[in-house]
Structure 1
Amino acid sequence: MPLSDWTHEAIRKIEADFNRSADTHLIPLDLPGYPDIHFYFKDESSHPTGSLKHRLARSLFLYALCNGWLHEGSMVVEASSGSTAISEAYFARLLGLPFVAVIPAGTSCAKIEAIEFYGGRCHLVANPAEIYTESHRIAQEAGGHFMDQFTYAERATDWRANNNIAESIFKQMAEEEYPVPAWLVSSGGTGGTIATLGRYVAYSRHKTRVLCADPENSVFFDYFRSCLDGKPQPELGLTVGSRIEGIGRPRVERSFIPSCIDAMLKVPDALSFAAMRYLSARFGRRVGGSTGTNFVGVLYLAQQMRAAGQGGAIVGLLCDSGERYGNTYYDDAWYAAQGIAIEAADALVTRAVNGEAVLTPQAVAGLQAAGAGLAAGG
C-alpha cells in the first residue's frame, strides 16, 4: 500500500528536525589512577529531549511510519520508565498525534512533568511488570498504536550507519591517541543501544569490545550468564523494577541480544549512585543514575586493563541529566529511606578512581541488595 500524503509529510518533519540538531559531545575524562588509559563519555543529555532515548524515539517513529502503523490522528502509546516517553511525546507533538505514556508509579515527578510539557498524558501503574498489558489495552481500546520499544528498539535503529550512536563515537574518536576504543560501555534498558554498539563494531571490523552494565533489579545479567552456560533462560522474571530509572528490566526483553555483548557486569545500586555523584562533581553538573552504572563498568575495565599492563581508550555513555532526579538521587533523605549506604559507596568509588583494585565481589558485598553482585561474564 502506498504511503499517504500525511505519512510523507510526517517523515519529512522528523528528518527536518534531525537536520536542525547537532551531534552530541564526546567528553574526555582524566582519572589519576590510570595514566595509560584515556576515558570519554558520550553526552546524550544534549539532545532536544535531554537523553539517549531521543535517538530511539526518532527511530521508532520512522519505523512505525514506514511500516504503515501510524496514521493521521493515531494515538501513540508507550510503556516507559520516563525518558523514552519524554522523547516520544516530543515526536508525537511534532506530528500532531495524541500520546499516552504508561509508566511505573515511582517515576520521578520531573519526568512526568516533561512528558506533560510535550503534550503527553501519563498513565501510572503500581506494578512495573503491568506496563506492557496496560499499554496494549489502552492502544487497542483507542484504535491506536503501541510503539513497544522493548520489542522494536534493536530493529528500528539503522545499526550500519545513519549517524547512529556507534558511528558517531568512532567519528569523534578519529583524531584521538587511541582512535579505536578498547571498550564501549553502556547499560541496558531496551537492549537497543547495546545491540547497535555491538553490531556496528562487528560490521566495521573493529577490535573494540562491548560491556553491558546491569543494575540490581534486572534479569539481563542472569540471562546473559545462562546463555554463556548454554542453557538460556528467557523466562526469567522479577516482581520489582529497577531503582536506576531507564535501565534494567524485570523480564527478558526481545530487543536484548546477548550475542552482541562481549561481557556484562552486575552493579550494586549503591555503587551506581556513588559513581553518579563522582561524575557530577567532575563535570560540574548533575548526571543520571544510569550514567553512574556505566561509570562503574568503566572503572572495572580500567582495573582489568591496568592489571594486564594495557593502555587504550574506554568510552562510556552519559545517558541523561541528573536534574530530573533532584527529589530522589540527589536527596540524602531518599537514600536513608531506601537503606542505601552512600558513604561506604562513595569511599569505594574514590579508591577505584585513584587506581586501587577494589571493585571485587568481596569488597562490595556490604553494598548490595539480595541477588546483587559485582561479577563479569563473557
Structure 2
Amino acid sequence: MDHLDRCDDSERAWVTEAIGMVEADANRSADTHLLPFPLPREWGVDLYLKDESVHPTGSLKHRLARSLFLYGLCNGWIGPRSTVIEASSGSTAVSEAYFARMLGLPFVAVMPTNTSHEKIELIEFQGGKCHLVDDPADVVAEARQLAAATGGHFMDQFTYAERATDWRGNNNIAESIYAQMARERHPIPAWIVMGAGTGGTSATIGRYARYQRLPTKLCVVDPENSAFYPAWVSGDPTVRTNVGSRIEGIGRQCVEASFQPAVVDRMVRVPDAASLAAMRAASAVLGRRVGGSTGTNLWGAFGLIAQMRAAGQRGSVVTLICDAGERYGGTYYSDEWLAAGGFDLPPYLEIIERFLATGEWPAAKTD
C-alpha cells in the first residue's frame, strides 16, 4: 500500500511545547479587573469598565494575539522556522511581537510610514521589526506578499479574529465579564459597549450572550471615517470610506471579515472629538490616563445610561478600558496635536460634565 507521511515528529513536538508556553502565559496573567465607574447609586444604573490595559502587553489585543497564535499553531500554519507577519501599526502588533519572541520566532509588522514613533518603539521593544508602507491601503497586500516571499505566516487579524476565539466560553472576554459581574446588584448587563477594529471581540460578546440565552444587548460604537456604521445601517457590506480612522485600534475603511453585523443590536457613530473628550474626562475621574478607543466606548455608554434613566430602567452597562493613555502622550493628550488636527473638545466636554452631574444626555447624541 502506498502512503505518504507529512508528520515531522520534531516539529510536532515543538508545536506541542509552543502551545504549552502560550497557555502558560494565559495562566500567569490570570484575569483583568472589572472596575466600577463612579456614578450616583440612586440613578439605579451602574457602569463597569473591564480593564484590558493590565495585560502584559498593555491592551485588549493581548487576548487576540494569544488566540491567533494558538489558532495558527493548531492549524499547522506556524512552525519552529516561521516568520510571523501582521498588518498592524498598533496594539495587535505589539502583542503579537511579544508572543513571537516568547516562541523564538521573528516577527514583522507591516504598517504605514506615518505610524507614531511610540508604537514603533513598543513593537521593537518586544523584539519585532517594522516594515513601512507609504500607502495605508496597501498594508494588507504588502503583508501577504512579504509572507509569500519569506515563506512566513501572515496572521491576518482582520479575517481570523472572530474565529480564533472560542465564542462559547473557554475563558473568553464575555465569559469573564459575566463571571465578574455575578455578585453585583445588576449581574446581567443590560448592554455591553464595544468598538470594532477587527470586529472579533464584538462578535465573541454577541455570540456568547445568545449562546447563554442572556438578554444583554450589544452596542458597537464606531468612530468617524469607519465603514462599519454605514454598512450596518444600509446593510451593504461593500461600503468603503476614503480616509482612515483617527481613533487608534477601532474603525476600518472597509468591512472586515471578522465583523458580524447580525449580532449587533445597536450602532452609534461617535465624533472623534467626542471620543477624545470622553477619554480626557474619564482620565480625570479615574485618576489615570486611558486611550482614545476607551473614550469612544464611554461616549456610547453614557448615552445608553441616560436613555435607561429617562425610561425608568435599572440595570448595568459594561464597557472596556482598551489600553492605557501613556501611548498617546504626543497625540491625544497633546493640546498642540489636537489643535493641529482641528479637534474641538469643549462642546463635548460640556455634554459629559452635564451627564456626570445630572444623568441627562442630548437626545440627538443618543443615536
Give, in whole Å, the separation in 2 of the partners of 1:290 and 1:34: 28
Give, in whole Å, the separation in 2 of the partners of 1:212 and 1:326: 26
Q: Note the 1:49-128 alignment, pairs <5 A.
A: 49-128=57-136
Give, in whole Å, the separation in 1 of the partners of 2:85 and 2:242: 23
Q: Note the 1:189-338 alignment, pairs <5 A.
A: 189-227=197-235, 233-338=236-341
In structure 2, the partner of 1:133 is: 141
1:184 aligns with 2:187: no
1:126 Cα deviation from its structure 2 partner: 3.1
Give, in whole Å, the separation in 1 of the partners of 2:120 and 2:310: 44
1:108 Cα deviation from its structure 2 partner: 2.7
Cα separation, partners in 2 of 1:359 and 1:99, compared to 1, 3 Å: farther
CA contact (8 A) 1:31 1:354 kept: no
Deviations 1:35-57 (A, max 9, x none): 21101000000000000000000
Aligned residue type for 2:189: P
Aligned residue type for 2:199: G
Deviations 1:3-44 (A, max 9, x none): 711111111111111111120000001224972110100000
CA contact (8 A) 2:309 2:359 kept: no
Moved more, 197-206 or 34-43: 34-43
CA contact (8 A) 1:211 1:264 kept: yes
CA contact (8 A) 2:112 2:132 kept: yes
Deviations 1:213-256 (A, max 9, x none): 000010000111112xxxxx222112311100000001110000
Give, in whole Å, the separation in 2 of the partners of 1:342 and 1:221: 22
Aligned residue type for 1:238: T
- Which among 42, 45, 57 is matched to residue 37 of structure 1? 45
Cα separation, partners in 2 of 1:356 and 1:26, compared to 1, 3 Å: closer
Give, in whole Å, the separation in 2 of the partners of 1:360 and 1:243: 25
Cα separation, partners in 2 of 1:73 and 1:194, compared to 1, 3 Å: same
Moved more, 87-96 or 10-19: 10-19
**Is the partner of 1:155 in helix, strand or coil?**
helix
Give, in whole Å, the separation in 2 of the partners of 1:81 and 1:39: 31
In structure 2, the partner of 1:7 is: 15
1:72 Cα deviation from its structure 2 partner: 1.0
**Is the partner of 1:20 in helix, strand or coil?**
helix
In structure 2, the partner of 1:370 is: none
**Is the partner of 2:358 in helix, strand or coil?**
coil
- Which among 160, 165, 173 is matched to residue 181 of structure 2? 173
CA contact (8 A) 2:53 2:60 kept: yes
**Is the partner of 1:354 in helix, strand or coil?**
helix
CA contact (8 A) 1:108 1:324 kept: no
Deviations 1:350-375 (A, max 9, x none): 122223543443xxxxxxxxxxxx56
CA contact (8 A) 2:225 2:242 kept: no
CA contact (8 A) 1:102 1:125 kept: yes
**Is the partner of 2:47 in helix, strand or coil?**
strand
Give, in whole Å, the separation in 2 of the partners of 1:287 and 1:132: 28
Question: TM-score if structure 1 supplies the norm length?
Answer: 0.92
1:26 aligns with 2:34: yes
Deviations 1:311-363 (A, max 9, x none): 100001110000000000000000110011122221122122223543443xx
CA contact (8 A) 1:44 1:318 kept: yes
Aligned residue type for 1:209: K
Deviations 1:271-303 (A, max 9, x none): 000000011111111000000000001011012
User: How many residues are paired up?
Assistant: 359
